Amino acid sequence: MLITILFYTFAAVLVGAALGVVLSRNTVHSALFLVLAFFTSAALWLLLEAEFLGIVLVLVYVGAVMVLFLFVVMMLDINVAQLREGLTRYAPLGALVALMVIVQIVYVTWVRRLGLTADMAFPSAEPLRGTQGSNTEALGALLYDDYVLPFQLAAVVLLVAIVAAIVLTMRSRPGLKQQDVAKQVAVRKEDRVRLVKLPAEKGP
Amino acid sequence: MEKIYLAILLAPLFASIVAGLFGKWVGRAGAHTVTILGVAVSFALSVYVFNHHVLQGQPAFDGAVYTWLETDGLTLEIGFLVDQLTVLMMLVVTFVSLMVHVYTIGYMHDDDGYQRFFSYISLFTFSMLLLVMSNNFLQLFVGWELVGLVSYLLIGFWYKRPTAIFANMKAFLVNRVGDFGFILGIAGVYYFTDSLRYSDAFAAAPAIADVYFHLFSTNTTENALTIICVGLFIGAMGKSAQVPLHVWLPDSMEGPTPISALIHAATMVTAGIFMVARMSPMFEYSETTLTFILVIGATTALFMGFLGLVNNDIKRVVAYSTLSQLGYMTVALGASAYAAGVFHLMTHAFFKALLFLAAGSVIIAMHHEQDMRRMGGLRKYLPITYWTCLIGALALIGFPGFSGFFSKDGLIEAVAESTIPGAGYALFAVMAGVFVTALYTFRMVFMTFHGKERMDEHTREHLHESPWVVTLPLVLLAIPSIFIGWFTIGPVLFGDYFRDVIFVLPQHDVLAKLGEQWHGPAAFVLHGVQAPVFWLAAAGVATAWFLYLKRPDIPDAIQARTRGLNRLLENKYYFDWFNENYLAAGARAFGRIFWKGGDRMLIDGALVDGSARVVGWLAGVIRHVQSGYLYHYAFAMIIGLAALLAYLLVRT
Amino acid sequence: MNTTPVAGAADFALVAPEIFLLCAACAILLIDLWLPQRLRQVTYLLSLVALVVSAVLVAGLPGERMTAFGGTWISDPVAKLLKLVTCGTVAAVFLYSRDYLLARGLFRGEYFVLGLFATLGIFVMVSSGSLLTMYMGIELLALSQYALVAFDRDSPVAAESAMKYFVLGAIASGALLYGISIIYGVTGTFDLDELAAGLDGSAATNVGLLFGLAFLMAGIAFKFGAVPFHMWVPDVYHGAPTSVTLFLGAAPKLAYFALALRVLAEGLGSAVQAWQDMLIVLAVLSLVVGNLVAVAQTNLKRMLAYSTISNVGFILLGILAGTPDGYRAALFYVVTYVIMAVGSFAMIVALSRRGFEADRIDDFRGLAQKSPWFAWMMLFLMVSTAGVPPFVGFFAKLYVLQAIVDVGFVWLAGVAVLFSVVGAFYYLRIVKVMFFDEPAPGLAVSASGSFRFLLSVNALAVLALGLFSGALLDAINRALP
């Protein structure tokens, strides 16, 4: 009973926070709403006894990604009003389509319960339990065992992302003015100072 | 063996590609070396194949070497049928082609399109071999069309001459008429047998012969096999220049003189004859078609000969004689004496090639003058040409002992034995044709080599024998022109050379009847000397001698008296006039009607422009959606996704 | 818990080409860092060597179907064929790109490294045995492509199109992932073989499965560029440097075909009824929109982009037949299309030079007078893409049409033929422009000898494969028995 109450509370907050992300006028607010959304989803995971995932979500997304995101948002000073122009213009149609998709999702997951029946040939997914009751170990075993290949490939994907980011941002533009400390230190007097002997000027 | 067949076929193609595409790099010498080598390889291997199949008596080869496409029930493949008939044609084609290649070195010496020409004639050899060696109708048709294409290119080789362009257009169009019949015939074969292989079609022929169906109206029934065979023969008429589709051949002399003439006259035109002989198991069952063939052939044989009498262009005289001789071959086919037709084809290839090359040699010596009225007395300037030409002429008129005698005499006697309707007319035509042939042939010989020297001073001073590349083929061709008949008539006409290859119904088998009286070539010659055919030919020669050497004034007088007849002949029976003024003009008029009414208004106006406008409008509308705005794109995707979802939910 | 190791030497043997390719890409990335600009050719050559070696390794894989890493990896004849074609295509793209990149100061090692990573992504997709592996392959390929599109950093057009591609790609990726998670939720497995074994005829009416399938389908359609998920195609093709367009237009199509084949045909084969209908809609829309809009284009790259969309319609037609014949026809189509697409885009590269992109149709005016050989090569490519016999494009279309007629979709074949005729118009317009218009000023083919040679081989292959389509057909019949 308590769990059910908690679940609906967190779920409601999550949905509210998600709406806040999209609808908030201030970008910083949006980012903070996103943090809230992450927190509540982490809580939902904890309710499902997936402690590791919940903690990772908080650590990685809230701790690292979102902070970075906030920095970027604050530094860029995005003009939200301009971006919203398109949104307001297409809002009715957008709302209609969104409503349609929501209805469809609700219908399928709630009314039809995803069509799950007892006679499907698949073994129903058992909740993961490690030997000592922690699912961290079980998750690790799964990642390095059954799904070792996709897991390693994920690393490659990250590598490519890094390479791509560097390719697109690091550049030595020809006309760029940069400071070269070594050069500055190594400079000699002869390079910079030129003594010019001027003949004395004759008086008028 | 399949590899050898392929090599025979592909060597000229390869040479042609090298000479055609890389002509600049290989140069003139390179072009003729590679093409001659290619054809020589083909010829040598053909001799090998001849030895394999004929002398050693290996069974014929019939099989596919490559399957190109296989769809429901229709198999398109490249395959070979190599038997005695094929081998014979392969030998003739490669040998004549080889001669032409050598000869071309001399004849085209100063031409800018040297490499191009060699490429064409090699391609021609390839196409002809493809046609001859085929084991199915599709490949036959491809070869058939390729030959037509190369002939189009060769006739128009000097593409800056308007007459050449006109001539090649004409050849192309006339051949299209024939090809239309041909493709209908092939379609008929496929319709009734569900296969394009010869073997299947031949096996099914007796059954198709009993099929009747309504083609033109419900009141009349047509025999299926007759329809097929007539269609195929119409194709042969186009390629082998039978009346009334003969009009392109004389004009084809616009090509580089003796060579394209020779290719057309000695090799390409035999495709039709070969095809009918090949299809003998089908034509045999359709007596109607045989009669049709007989009448067409006889008409061509006689009436085209007359035209040779009034022409003064040396090449055209030879060309008309070719037409007439093709008529003879066709008559033989119609009389079910396929072997005689093919035999005449073979001997004719040699002596007609010889005559053409001789005419070409004369033309070279005369500095590209082709009018016989400006020649005369060339005997002492061109001795080799004269003697070889004389041999060719004697072979052509069927002088006893020469190759032409055996084939022509055998052919005429076969026609005499035939009982197919129309044989009487055919016999008359071929007999009269003998006289006409002798007359125009020796008219040409006398006007060119004997009598007064009518050329101008300048030409006379420069007259000399042609170089060895020209005379060597002449001599090489003269030898078989004399002797080949003597050795081959026995096995080919009366022996079993063509057993299992050419099929003749017992009631049609005229050659078997002749064979009962066969006592060797010497007896045949002796018998020939006593026969009317010989005397007709002798009379022709005598008449020519009298009219053109003894009393050269008489022909003019005759011409003056018989103005109407003369005009008829000079206008070639008004075939061209009729074609141009009625068929071509009519077609143009029809074309204009369809163009204005159908094309401009309906198709262009409504369909093409209309649909183009609709397409353009739609494209404009859709392009508008492609606005470049990211959220438009994202929106389109989401809507698409929602639609997919909606559809699925409705489904379940 | 499972104590026996899932992965052994046998498993690693099956991913040897991928491991090599990954190591090679990383090594080249490092080597490139220490190379001065004048030795940049070394990177290029090493990349080609890497492709050749991976091709050799792929060729050495066993010929029968094997799985590795607990079913997340499949090594079978189709994968082998597709990987070999991929190696060849990417190598050709590198060769074609060299001069183009050199002339524009874009000749940097990252182009080749990203190209190799994309190739790795294609390999992974082609051999995926589970939805997770597939997703990793998709992302690997997609990320490399985003970066490649934005490769020319001084071009605002390229940056804009890369941005569009990235955002839309993210949406599609999200949809795909959502679909995968739904399917996992319904079935409890990512493994395609287990899916195929566990699903039966009722799968086509299972609402949860279909729900996931719809999202999955949206992702697949986006990757292919099928209407209405096609909007990115023209903008990206147009905006990206031509050498990148060359890449985008060719090899990834092989991977997307594998995606459709593995997920739809192999994994969700029992739900054929459901995805067949969706594919019909996508295919017809692609044929209609692709062909119609291509007519109105004046930019050759955009035109070819729409032509891609219409060709995707044909590939989808082959897949939606849902029969082995259909898959084979689609495979034949995709392989031949890739060959033709590489050649067509390379033609633009051949005519372009520094400061001049030659990507308008008008830039091809009178090419036949300036360079008859290349005009003929382009003619071969265009005529083949239009589907004229005896070029290979004709047979590709023919087999697809045959496959869908065999399953009773005569009307679909009719639509396909009708819009192919519309399509023939714009291909032949190029031919008309090349052969009958007066030459555009400054038109010249500026290409190195190896480029010319490769392009000639490429174009002649289109003819040769048509004349001897049996060989390719045999290979495909062996790959997809």
- DSSP letters, A131-192, are TTS-HHHHHHHHHTTTTHHHHHHHHHHHHHHHHHHHHHH----TT-----HHHHHT--HHHH
Which residue, B636, C173, C221, is CA-closest to A93?
Answer: B636
B649 contacts A107? CB cut-off 8 A: yes
Q: Is the pLDDT of residue B474 over 90?
A: no
Minimal Cα distance from C236: which residue of B?
A: B628
Nearest to B635 among A90, A100, A104 (CB): A90
**Number of helices followed by number of strands (H, E) in chain B:** 29, 4
What secondary structure letter does DSSP report for B59?
P
Nearest-Cα distance to chain A for C282, in Å, is: 19
Q: How far is A114 from chain B (nearest CA, A)?
A: 11
For chain A, helix, strand, coil in percent to 5 are 70, 0, 30
Q: What rounded mean pLDDT belongs to chain B?
A: 82
Kindly report which listed range (B469-483, B561-575, C231-245, C367-381) carries the lowest average pLDDT score: B561-575
Q: How confident is the model at residue B606 (pLDDT cuts 50, 70, 90)?
A: low
Closest partner residue to A115 (CB to CB) among C136, C153, C186 is C186
DSSP code of residue B608: I
Query: So what's the pLDDT on residue C153?
Result: 83
What are the DSSP E strand ranges found in B18-97? 61-71, 74-82
**First vs last C-alpha separation in chain C:** 38
Helix, strand, or coil here: B377? coil
3-state secondary structure at position B53:
helix
Is residue B595 scored above 60 in pLDDT?
A: yes
pLDDT band for position A38 (cuts 50, 70, 90) = very high
**Position B280, amino acid:** S
Q: Do B66 and C274 touch (CB under 8 A)?
A: no
What pLDDT was estimated at residue C135? 95
Question: What local confidence, expressed as pLDDT, does residue B535 receive?
Answer: 85
**Which residues of chain C does A114 touch, with a Cβ-Cβ cutoff of 8 Å?**
182, 185-186, 207-208, 211
Q: How would you classify residue C195: left for phi > 0, otherwise alpha for psi between -120 and 50, otherwise beta? A: alpha
CA closest to A96 among chain B residues: B639
Nearest CA in chain B to C280: B644
Maximum CA pair distance of chain A? 117
Q: Show residues of chain C in contact with B630, CB under 8 Å.
A: 163-164, 167-168
Measured CA angle at A58 (ends A55, A60), to 5 deg: 100
Given CB atoms, is C199 within the 8 Å cutoff of chain A? yes
The DSSP annotation for B509-575 comes to -HHHHHHTT---HHHHHHHHHHSHHHHHHHHHHHHHIIIIII-THHHHHHHHHTHHHHHHHHTGGGH
Instruction: List the structure tokens of B286.
Output: 């359709």
Please name the member of C69, C135, C147 whose beta carbon is closest to the beta carbon of A168: C147
Q: How far is C467 from chain B (nearest CA, A)?
A: 7
The span from the CA of C361 to the CA of B376, in Å, is 64
Distance CA C149, CA C240 (A): 5
For chain B, helix, strand, coil in percent to 5 are 80, 5, 20
Residue with tokens 């031509």: C242
* Residue C240 to residue C165: CA distance in whole angstroms: 10
Per-residue pLDDT, A146: 83
For residues B563 and B566, what is the distance between their CA atoms, to the nearest angstrom? 5
Strands B222-223 and C73-75, how do they pair? Answer: unpaired
CA dihedral sign, ordered C63, C69, C73, C74: positive
Here the tokens at position B458 are: 């300048």
Residue B82 DSSP class: E
Asked if B74 has any chain C CB less than 8 Å from its own CB, the reply is no
Residue written as token pair 């970008």: A27
- Note whether B631 contacts A107, CB cutoff 8 Å: no
Instruction: Report CA C1 to chain centroid distance, whole Å.
Output: 42
Cα gap B365→B383, rounded to integer Å: 12
Of C215, C244, C221, the residue nearest C346 (C-alpha): C244
Token pair belonging to B541: 């020669």
Residues of C in contact with A125 (CB under 8 A): 188
pLDDT band at A87 (very low <50, low <70, confident <90, very high): low
**Whole-number Å distance between alpha carbons of C298 and C359:** 9
* Minimal C-alpha gap between A199 and chain C (Å): 50
Query: How far, in Å, CA of B357 to CA of B257, rounded?
Result: 9
Q: Is B25 helix (H, G, I), strand (E, B) or coil?
A: helix
Chain A nearest-CA distance from C109, in A, is: 10
Q: CB of C193 within 8 Å of any CB in chain A?
A: no
To probe the interface with C, which of A149, A152, A163, A171 has the most C CB atoms within 10 Å? A149
B476: CB partners within 8 A, 6+ apart: B99
Residue count of chain A, please give it. 204
Which of B631, B642, B645 is facing A90, going by the closest CB pair? B631
For residue C2, the model assigns a pLDDT of 47
Contact C72 A149 (CB under 8 A): yes
**Amino acid letter at C135?**
Y
Closest to B122 in 3D by CA, of B167, B74, B170, B154: B154
- Number of Cβ within a 10 Å radius of residue A4: 9
Chain A closest-CA separation from residue B626 CA (Å): 16
Q: Which residues, 6 or more positions from C21, have their beta carbon under 8 angstroms from its beta carbon?
A: C50, C54, C116, C119, C120, C123
pLDDT of B216: 67
Model confidence over B124-147: pLDDT tens digits? 899 999 998 888 888 898 888 888
Identify the band that residue B72 occupies on the pLDDT scale cut at 50, 70 and 90: low
- Give DSSP secondary structure letters for A91-115: HHHHHHHHHHHHHHHHIIIIISGGG
Tokens of A175: 């006309």
Please report the pLDDT score of residue C379 as a whole number: 92
Sign of CA dihedral B22, B26, B32, B38: negative
Q: Which one-letter amino acid corresponds to residue C62?
A: P
Distances (CA, A) of C7 to C3, C121, C185, C478: 12, 21, 26, 29
Question: Of A105, A147, A171, which is closest to C72 when you measure between CB atoms?
Answer: A147
Q: How far apart are CA B188 and CA B175, in angstroms?
A: 20
For residue B629, give the chain C residue with the closest CA. Answer: C164
Poorest-pLDDT segment among B67-71, B158-162, B477-481: B67-71
- Determine the residue of chain B that is closest to A97 in CA distance: B639
- Counted across chains A and C, CB pairs separated by less than 8 A come out at 111
In the prediction, which pLDDT does B623 show? 65
**Between A154 and C372, residue with greater pLDDT:** A154
Tell the residue number behind the tokens 């050795």, with chain if given.
Answer: B487
The verdict on a CB contact (< 8 Å) between C469 and B616 is no
Tell me which range, B191-200, B210-219, C20-29, is most confidently predicted by mean pLDDT: C20-29
Among candidates B631, B642, B652 on the partner chain, residue whose Cβ is nearest the Cβ of A101: B642
Which of B629, B632, B635, B648 would best serve as a mutation to test chain A binding (most A beta carbons within 10 A)?
B635
Say which amino acid occupies B136: N
B93-106 mean pLDDT? 83
Residue B1 clears pLDDT 80, i.e. is over it? no
Chain-chain contact of C292 with B615 (C-beta, under 8 angstroms): yes
* A87-96, B419-428, B541-550, C94-103: range with lowest mean pLDDT: A87-96
pLDDT, mean of each 10-residue run, chain C (481 residues): 63 92 94 87 94 95 89 92 95 92 87 95 95 94 93 86 91 93 87 86 79 91 91 91 92 94 90 89 92 85 92 94 92 95 91 81 84 88 90 92 91 90 86 84 78 92 87 88 81
Chains that touch B (3 or more CB pairs under 8 A): A, C
b or e along A98-107 (b: 16 or more beta carbons within 10 Å of the residue's beta carbon)?
eebbeebeee
Look at C470 and B67 and tell me if their CB atoms are within 8 Å.
yes
The token pair that represents B146 in the structure block: 């390729």
Q: Does A49 touch chain C (CB under 8 A)?
A: no
* pLDDT for residue A79 is more than 70: no
Residue B650 touches partner C, C-beta closer than 8 Å: no
Q: Is residue B449 over pLDDT 90?
A: no
pLDDT at B613: 72
Query: Which residues of chain A have a CB within 8 Å of the CB of B625?
Result: none
CA distance C436 to C433: 6
B630 and C167: CB-CB below 8 Å?
Answer: yes
Average pLDDT over residues B192-215: 81
Contact of B391 with B481, CB cutoff 8 Å: yes
Q: Poorest-confidence range of B168-172, B184-188, C30-34?
A: B168-172
Between B627 and C427, residue with greater pLDDT: C427
Q: What are the chain A neighbours of B639 within 8 Å (beta carbons)?
A: 97
Residue C6 and residue C69 in contact, taking contact as beta carbons nearer than 8 Å: yes
DSSP state of A65: I
Query: What is the pLDDT, as a whole number, of residue B266?
Result: 66
Identify which of C158, C169, C160 has the alpha carbon closest to the alpha carbon of residue C222. Answer: C169
